[in-house]
A and B are shown apart, each in its own frame.
Chain A
Amino acid sequence: MNRHFALATLFASTLAFAAPAQAVTEIQWWHAMSGGNNDIVNKLAADFNASQSDYKVVPTFKGAYPDTMNAGIAAFRAGTSPHILQVFEVGTATMMSAKGAIKPVYQLMKDAGEPFDPNAYLPAITGYYSTSKGEMLSFPFNSSSMVMWVNLDALKKADIAEIPKTWPEVFDSAKKLKAAGYTTCGFSNAWATWANIEQFSAWHNVPIGSKANGLDGFDTVLQFNTPLHVKHLQTLTELVKDKTYDYSGRANASEARFGSGECPLFLTSSGYYATAKSTAKFAFTSAPMPYYPEAKGAPQNSIIGGASLWVMGGKKPDEYKGVAKFFAFLSDTDRQAKLHQESGYLPITKAAYEKTKASGFYEKNPTLETPLKELTNKEPTENSRGLRFGNMVQLRDIWSEEIEAALGGQKTAQQALDAAVTRGNAMLRTFEKTVK
């Protein structure tokens, strides 16, 4: 008797919940934003859902970047992919080569009849996610770049008057800092390959690979074993011996070395801002990445990191209309400006950047403008527009291995970079065959 009643209630309540759910179209959004970023994502979805009544964006946290991407791929293979999938920048080539699995954003906006002007977005950001014809394939969401975090108190202690701008100045400062008591780490960086290969190449206007770093085709060949690259790595291998330079690993687990005051000069993502602000007990700022003055045209411009939103293929037109409306909602100038100022992400549109600038925000928060200045330092060239290599996650592992071999003294810088290029090219050829 009781059980029947419970079942009946359950049935009735399911109906009650199901009925209004059918009236709105649900948009599934899988993302990799944890902690405070997760709150931002949830708030964006809630604001959008409150702004209209036809669509409902449902955000779901799926783990770290690689986990989210793998979950999306697995779901696609099982026929249950979400509408929107957040993919980190190194997954771009894999996503864009998956024709049929994704719906290009420019196509989506055109089909849905939503206002969309690709020129409204920061070219340094959209270049990464566009074809060589300028068609935007994914929607930029959270972007960052690499900057040098500077412990101002330490510089004072070591009697260094100015923040070092070039690499020789950084080496020199690191030696002074070591003498001033920072014995275990003069300078360091997170993201070994992002700092020493990817950003380094773009910043010095030298190629990472042919075909505009792979943006113009998958038949690209790696080229980062130039004398400039070798010189840089060679210098690091010499400085690592007495810890003027100290190695901090492949990813960003060691970022805390800056906040704890151990490493007074530290290159990592501009997205480190919030953490630095809450942990560092000293005056700090961010500065542009250093460069070699003899490199022609350096500094050029930096490239972005972070993630973008990909729209998965095979969905209903009405659902795509909702996704397009959501993207239009995200592009709104006020919303972008606020998002940028609160989260520390880069603004994705020019208007949001201008608005923030005009409000005098950067005078009070100069650290937040450094990555923007780097990205827009010069008109991007073939070497600094971005990069797009297949199997990029694996490529990074190979490159890290070779950098570690050089820093550990098992190989010379030249040997390590040659091996990184050769092994990477073999991987690129495999990828090329899978997507032909």
Chain B
Amino acid sequence: MEKTAIFGNKALPYALLLPQLVITLVFFYWPASQAVWQSFLREDAFGLNSDFVGLENYQALFAQPEYYKSMITTLVFSSLVAALSLAIALLFATQADKNLKAAPVFKVMMIWPYAVAPAVAGVLWLFMFHPTLGTLARPMRVLGFNWNPLLDGNHAMALIVMAAVWKQIAYNFLFFLAGLQSIPRSVLEAGAIDGAGPLRRFWTITFPLLSPTTFFLLVVNVVYVFFDTFGIIDAVTGGGPAGSTTTMVYKVYADGRLGGDLGGSAAQSVVLMVIVIALTAIQFRYVERKVQY
């Protein structure tokens, strides 16, 4: 009997791939194509009248100054959330990686916010920082700081950034910690013997060795802020005040789900999809070059 790694059966590899392909088709390509098709339609909420209107939804979208405003809001929001949640998680992970007695407790405490649903996370922060009901907001106002996220756009932005960062730190922390623990101790010890201080060891050894993890997290975090944060925004600010926390994905949700404008909402989600595909492509093309595997 001859032993070989090559399968003689030509159909078998395809058969083995089939479940994966079917899942991708059913759960990604089909809905995505539906969104594209819907963006060319003008439909009432009940689906009773449906007209093909070509690019009219897109024209209407790009004629709205609010849409450009939501793009800028998204840019501000996503850079703040991605940068802060990555930086803070990395800081916590390096601390948890040290030989501390309390490290396991610390790790568990760091991880649990990930189990909280976005809307619940939003409500938790709202309870603390609602201008009149908030447990922390009242002392702030008493101390003379005019905290007012209901009318001040920057305050509202700060609030949803805090909630979104808090929610994401746990996830980033987990990956950073795993990454840190896979770095060989011998390399770090060699560095120490050669006289490199802790900071120098971090920037010249640890951080470069963590770069695959960091890169993966960057991609995941960008997708998170683009797609997963509308629950937080809906619970905390509802996109207000004056649209200053209406990100692109929240606008998709508000116009489509709350407002019943399916065509316009679909057009927005197609634009959003294109942006995220482009962002991911840029990340893989340019940022990945700096990654050392």
> Which among A76, A401, A402, A404 is the interface contact of B46 at CB below 8 angstroms?
A76
Write the nearest CB–CB distance from A240 to chain B, whole angstroms: 7
CA distance A262 to B131 in the complex (A): 12
CA distance A257 to B131 in the complex (A): 11
Write the nearest CB–CB distance from A3 to chain B, whole angstroms: 31
Chain A 93-105 interface 0/1 with B at a Cβ cutoff of 8 Å (1 = within): 0100111110000
B259 to chain A: which residues have CB within 8 Å? 391, 393-394, 397
Contact between chains at B254 and A397 (CB < 8 Å): yes
A430 on interface, CB distance cutoff 8 Å: yes
A70 on interface, CB distance cutoff 8 Å: yes
Write the nearest CB–CB distance from A93 to chain B, whole angstroms: 10
Contact between chains at B260 and A250 (CB < 8 Å): no
**Quick check: which of B100-108, B162-170, B208-216, B236-244 contacts chain A, the rest being far away?**
B236-244
Contact between chains at A248 and B47 (CB < 8 Å): no
CA distance A101 to B239 in the complex (A): 31
A375 on interface, CB distance cutoff 8 Å: no
Write the nearest CB–CB distance from A298 to chain B, whole angstroms: 28
**Quick check: which of B148-156, B196-204, B281-289 contacts chain A, the rest being far away?**
B148-156
Contact between chains at B44 and A401 (CB < 8 Å): no
A405 on interface, CB distance cutoff 8 Å: yes
> Which among B42, B132, B238, B258 is the interface contact of A248 at CB below 8 angstroms?
B132
B278 on interface, CB distance cutoff 8 Å: no
Contact between chains at A407 and B151 (CB < 8 Å): yes
B228 on interface, CB distance cutoff 8 Å: no
Which residue, of A257, A401, A426, has the highest number of chain B Cβ atoms within 10 A?
Answer: A401
Asked, given contacts A257-B132, A394-B255, A401-B243, whether A77 binds B46 with beta carbons under 8 Å apart, the answer is yes
CA distance A315 to B140 in the complex (A): 57
B133 to chain A: which residues have CB within 8 Å? 253-254, 256
CA distance A57 to B264 in the complex (A): 38
A73 on interface, CB distance cutoff 8 Å: yes
CA distance A178 to B214 in the complex (A): 54
By size class, the interface of chain A is 35 or more
A377 on interface, CB distance cutoff 8 Å: no
Chain A 381-413 interface 0/1 with B at a Cβ cutoff of 8 Å (1 = within): 000000000010110010011101101101000
CA distance A257 to B133 in the complex (A): 8
A184 on interface, CB distance cutoff 8 Å: yes
B97 to chain A: which residues have CB within 8 Å? none
A433 on interface, CB distance cutoff 8 Å: yes
CA distance A249 to B236 in the complex (A): 11
Contact between chains at A394 and B243 (CB < 8 Å): no
B51 to chain A: which residues have CB within 8 Å? 433-434
A407 to chain B: which residues have CB within 8 Å? 151, 241
Closest residue on chain B to residue A395 by CB atoms: B259
Write the nearest CB–CB distance from A20 to chain B, whole angstroms: 35
CA distance A247 to B46 in the complex (A): 36
Contact between chains at A433 and B261 (CB < 8 Å): no
Asked, given contacts A405-B242, A408-B241, A434-B42, whether A66 binds B258 with beta carbons under 8 Å apart, the answer is yes
Contact between chains at B132 and A254 (CB < 8 Å): yes
Asked, given contacts A101-B46, A394-B259, whether A247 binds B150 with beta carbons under 8 Å apart, the answer is yes
B48 on interface, CB distance cutoff 8 Å: yes
Asked, given contacts A248-B132, A394-B255, whether A240 binds B151 with beta carbons under 8 Å apart, the answer is yes
B120 on interface, CB distance cutoff 8 Å: no
> Which among A76, A391, A393, A430 is the interface contact of B42 at CB below 8 angstroms?
A430
A423 to chain B: which residues have CB within 8 Å? 66
B117 on interface, CB distance cutoff 8 Å: no
> Which among B42, B141, B240 is the interface contact of A401 at CB below 8 angstroms?
B240
Asked, given contacts A98-B48, A434-B42, whether A247 binds B151 with beta carbons under 8 Å apart, the answer is yes
> Which among B45, B47, B242, B260 is the interface contact of A408 at CB below 8 angstroms?
B242
Contact between chains at A401 and B254 (CB < 8 Å): no
A435 to chain B: which residues have CB within 8 Å? 44, 49
> Which among B141, B239, B258, B264 is the interface contact of A393 at CB below 8 angstroms?
B258
CA distance A436 to B43 in the complex (A): 11
Instruction: Tell me the B residues contacting A by CB distance below 8 Å.
Output: 42-49, 51, 60, 66, 130, 132-133, 141, 150-153, 238-243, 254-255, 257-261, 264
A–B Cβ pairs within 8 angstroms, 23 of them: A66-B258, A73-B45, A73-B46, A94-B44, A94-B260, A101-B48, A250-B238, A256-B132, A262-B132, A391-B259, A393-B258, A394-B260, A401-B239, A401-B240, A401-B241, A401-B242, A408-B153, A410-B242, A426-B60, A433-B42, A434-B42, A434-B43, A435-B44
15 further A-B pairs in the complex, CB-CB below 8 A; given A184-B141, A248-B132, A405-B242: A73-B260, A94-B44, A100-B48, A101-B46, A256-B133, A391-B260, A402-B242, A405-B241, A405-B243, A407-B151, A407-B241, A408-B152, A430-B264, A433-B51, A434-B51
Instruction: Tell me the A residues contacting B by CB distance below 8 Å.
Output: 66, 70, 73, 76-77, 94, 97-101, 184-185, 240, 247-251, 253-254, 256-257, 262, 391, 393-394, 397, 400-402, 404-405, 407-408, 410, 423, 426-427, 430, 433-436
Top 9 closest A-B pairs, CB basis? Answer: A394-B259, A404-B241, A405-B242, A404-B242, A434-B44, A98-B46, A408-B151, A101-B46, A401-B243
